[in-house]
Each structure stands twice: as structure tokens, then as C-alpha cells.
Structure 1
């Protein structure tokens, strides 16, 4: 196969396939999506290895994004060790393809793993490491500042959290459309880094943080508004942040609303089989147990328990 064919048809096809795979990941279990992503990563690496420049480097950069997404699906499946391995593989592939910025984004991904382990210190440190180079694109810096804010919220540090959120908003506002790509703004094979389904990531992360900081009423107001803006077909994002909204309602003592929201999300949670969603589902169960005599809680708990048992299998 000629270099021209690789560049004009093969790489764009893999680029389109990447977007399709991410859409699949919004509605399917990681156990379904991850093997496909791994196969695509290996195939793209093989193609890149047979190609000449600049196709080789473009192929390796795209393979790096596949590997990074494999890391996310591994984390969603509950395998943090595999998530870290695939994230490291993504950095290696990106470096070989001339993208030296993905290493910073990998720190943001590692910080997310620490966040779900409720390790505030590690979350903050990894997110700060990602922000140390002024040469890092503004989008990655902004995503790192968001993750730092979540770490500060976990540590109950309101002022530091707000400063990090303000910095994230400034950086993401500064990020021009071309900075959404990995290396080259004219490259046809560079997918957007971070979420592509949330229109205002800083706003929804602010709601997330406010809940952690014990400001549930403020969190609910923001999450209600921002979740309504997430596309209906972005099931994973809607369920992930929807669980956070239900948790905020539970923490605020809105038992009826928390139960109603949770029940609506259970079917999607079962289908997605997401470790991050399950983590919040467990927190909801613990929080609602305070009102174990409530009729709404008693009605929900058998379904909630069955869902947790199903996703644990």
C-alpha cells in the first residue's frame, strides 16, 4: 500500500473509526468496547510501522489516542493497573510520533484514577505536574487545572478549589479550536482531548466540586442545568454526572428526588457497567441508608442492591 493511500484514505478511516468507537463507549460496557480499541490500536501501530514519514508519525499519534482511550475503558472496567499501562503506552506512542504533549495529559488521566481512589494529595500533585510546562497547550493545562480543583474539593479546600477552577476556565477559554488537537492544527488525525459531550466542562466540574465541599444546594443548581445540555445519546456522560446529581440531592436531604433520579439511572448504569459510575452508586446507597425508614428508600433499595450486585459480577 502506498504512502499516499495511507494518508488519503487509511488514516482518515481510522480517525473516523475512533470517533465511532468513542460513541460506542457512550452506551456500551467497557468489556465490549475495550477489546475493539486494543485491536484497532495494534492494527494502526502495524500500519504506521510500514509507512514513511509523515504518515508514520501521524499514524503513531493516532494510535496513541486509541491507547489513551483504551486506558479510559480499562479504568471504566475497574482495572486501574491496565488503565495505567495503556496510558503509559499512549505516551510512548505519542513520543515516537512527535507529540510530546500527551505526557502531560496522561498525568491528568492518572490524577483521575487517584481521584476515584479518594487520594486527594496524589490527585493534586499529578494535576500540578501536568501544569508545570508553559509549553503545554492551554486545553491540557485547563483540563489539569480542573482535575486539581477536584483534588482540592476532595481535601475540603474551598479557596484552592475555586482558584483552580478559575484558572481552568481562563485556560479553556484561551484554547483556540486548533489547540483541541494533539500536535498539528492541520492534522486530519488528531481527535479532541478530554470530553466531547459536555459543552461546558468547567461548569459541570464546578458542580461536582461543590458537592464534595458540602455545598449541595449550589451543586444541584449547576448540575441540573449542565446535565440538561448533555446530548441524549451521550449515555455514559449523562449517567456519570447524573449519579453525581442524585448524590448531591441525597446529601442535601432531598430523599424523594434522590431516589427518583437514582431509579431513572439504574438501567443505564447496569448496561454501562462503569466502575466510576458504580463508585457514586455505592455512595448514594450509603447516603440514603440514613433514611432507611423512608418509603421511597425502602422501595428503591432492592433495585439499588440488585444493581450493585449485578455490576460487581
Structure 2
């Protein structure tokens, strides 16, 4: 085949701009899928690699799913090399794109979200609080695939489809995290952020950054958690003032700084969160999950615990349990776990056992691997005190309850090696 007969990559992409598969690959920032689509249509791997200035070995890693494009500069290079409109990859308008029309310049306010999207979001959110993410993750992913993703390629849907996709993808990330699938959760959050930016929704993008901060902290990366919280605060500053969002981001920053033993910065961030949530309320954002006084008390207890300020931590943990609604089954369970944890660290074993009995009444069918993991951490904290009779008796009850829970959650949580239940 001579050089003139080789397909032009930009012409190939131009012919695919209405193809759902390409648009989905861009929305999910899955450049491996994009490269495969080009290659199938006759663009050689050598030409693809040269166009985006990477080695063929690196290109094969992307195409085979061994790694993903993460750097902003490479996304920009891909967009410019193949003339992919910037908004499809969550980027600014590229220099080669035509100037926006007057109508586009005039479109400042976002259109209201589709009512069906909000109804679905509220339904999933309510069910998640009761049943846990493990029971709902597959349903939300199917809803995204079947009901939301096709609208991203439908010009009649409007830009609000990207907001719905961002919000539900972020929700899927939390459900994956609640199911113990943290790598999958990270991928969902990574996809949600450019979708929110494509819609131009700074608060929603900041909300996703807060979730990424939480996940980074849970996976042992406090520095990354601080970075994501600060990114979120920068994004939040670009949009309308939403005190609850700013408070959540400051709280995430405080938690990460406390884990990193940065006592003074952590205390300042926590103070900022308290002041922010107590400020003048702003209009609710339709896609953001709420961050209320109960959530702030729960997170404050964890910050103060990690700062070894156990008396103050106890006050906030008790407030969190008192404020948390009975309908928020997972949140209430996590708050009670924190309360028992803090009692143990204070050396008040009788109070720990008393609070621990209430904890065992949490719904055993709650489909949350995260709750099970925290329960196991709590057991390890109690184990050194089993010589004390009430603790020893409680651990017997605890282990019985855990075995029953594991049987009920066998479809979500595989048995540990060797079949141990401790």
C-alpha cells in the first residue's frame, strides 16, 4: 500500500465523531479504545505512536489495557493530533477549533437537569443508604450504559446529559468503593471529572475531587488525598458558593493532614470546615450528595482521633450517632464503629463494650464491604484487651455476628483464604 492510499487519522476521527463508541471512549478518557478504533480502520500503530509522540511499546500497553493515559499534556497531544474536539476529552477549546457561535457565547446558565435523571439519582441514593453499594453497583452501571451513555451522542439531549453522566459515574465510584473494589472506584472517579468539566460545572467537578480525596486516603495515600482536596477547593472557588461543598473539601483535607501528623494545618482545615458549614446557606446543587452536620461530626471525630485528641473526638462521635437518621443504615453503622474505636483508645473498655452491643444490631444484610472492613479493624483493636471479661464475652458475640453476616453477604464478599472468620 503506498503512502497516498493510507487513511488519514484525522479523516478517520472526523467520520467517527457521531459514533457512540468513540464518544464513550472520549468521555471515559479510554485512549486505548480510541487507538484500537483507529488501528482497526487502517491507521498503523507506527503512525498513531508518531502522531502523539510515544513509543510503539507504550502504545501497545494502552491498546491492551495494561496502562491508561493519565497526563493532561498527552490528552492535549492526542486531541490536537487527531482533531478531537477539546470538550469531548474534558479539555479547553483547542486552537484549531472554529470559534464558538454567538449562541454558544450567550449560553451562560446551564439548563435544568432532566427530571428523570434526578429521580433515578435520588432513588439510587436512597437505596444505597439502606442496602449498601454492593447491592446496587451493577444496577447503576447498567443504567449508565443503557440509559445515559447513548444520550452523550444524541445532539438533541443537550449538555445536561454530561452532568447526569458525571454524577451517576461518581455515584458508581462510591458503590464500587463500598463493594471493596477500590481500583474500579478510582477509574469511575477519573471518568466523572472530565464529564463534569465538559458540562462546565465547577461544583460538580469539585464534588468528584472530594470523592477522589476520600478514596486516596482510604487506600493509604494521604499526600494524594490532600492534593485532591486542594484541587477541589480550587474548582469550588470557580463556581457559585456552596458552603456544604467547601466544608466537605476542607474536612477531607483535614482528615488527610491528620493522618500525615500535620497537626496545625489539620486543625485549621477542620476549623474552616466548621465555619463554612455554619455560614449562609446557598441554593442546593441538584447533583451533589448532601454534607450535613451529622457528616461533619462523623468526620470531625476521625480527624480528632487521628490527632489523639480523644475527649474531643468522643464528643463529635456521640453527636454523629445522635444526629444520624435511622434510615441511613451504613452511615449509622460507621458512626457507631468510630464511637467504639474512640472509647477503646481512651481506655474506657466498659463504654466500648456498651456501644459495641448497639453496633451488632446493624442490619446484617447491609451490602457494604467497607463496613465489614471497618468492623474487622475494630476487632483487631479490641483483641489485645480480651483478657478483660466483658471484652472477651463481647468478642464471642462479635464473631458469631460476623459469621452470620458473612453468610448473608457471600455473594458480595468471598471467603478469606483458609476459611477463617476472625
**Structure 1: runs of 5+ lacking an equivalent:** 1-6, 182-189
- More helix per residue: 1
What's 2:264 paired with? 159
Give me the whole-angstrom Cα distance separating, in 1, the residues matched to 2:240 and 2:341.
34
Is the contact made by 1:199 and 1:230 (CA closer than 8 Å) also made in structure 2? Answer: no
Q: CA RMSD in A?
A: 2.6
What's 1:186 paired with? none
**Structure 2: runs of 5+ lacking an equivalent:** 1-110, 415-422
Give me the whole-angstrom Cα distance separating, in 2, the residues matched to 1:283 and 1:215.
20
Q: Superposition pairs for residues 1-313 of structure 1, below 5 Å?
A: 11-42=114-145, 43-47=147-151, 49-50=153-154, 52=156, 55-133=157-235, 134-139=237-242, 140-174=245-279, 176-178=281-283, 180-181=284-285, 190-195=286-291, 198-268=292-362, 270-306=364-400, 310=406, 312-313=413-414
Is the contact made by 1:111 and 1:123 (CA closer than 8 Å) also made in structure 2? Answer: yes
Aligned residues: 293
Is the contact made by 2:134 and 2:368 (CA closer than 8 Å) also made in structure 1? Answer: no
Cα distance, 1:102 vs. partner? Answer: 3.1
Give the TM-score, by structure 2 length. 0.63
Give the TM-score, by structure 1 length. 0.83
Distance 1:113 1:269, change over 3 A: farther
Give me the whole-angstrom Cα distance separating, in 1, the residues matched to 2:303 and 2:248.
14
What's 2:80 paired with? none
Cα distance, 1:194 vs. partner? Answer: 4.4
Is the contact made by 2:193 and 2:209 (CA closer than 8 Å) also made in structure 1? Answer: no
Structure number with the bigger relative contact order (C-alpha 8 A, sep ≥ 6) is: 1
Give me the whole-angstrom Cα distance separating, in 1, the residues matched to 2:224 and 2:197.
25
Cα distance, 1:288 vs. partner? Answer: 1.1
Is the contact made by 2:134 and 2:178 (CA closer than 8 Å) also made in structure 1? Answer: no
Is the contact made by 1:255 and 1:297 (CA closer than 8 Å) also made in structure 2? Answer: yes
SS, match of residue 27 in structure 1: helix
Give me the whole-angstrom Cα distance separating, in 2, the residues matched to 1:137 and 1:18.
22
Distance 1:269 1:159, change over 3 A: farther
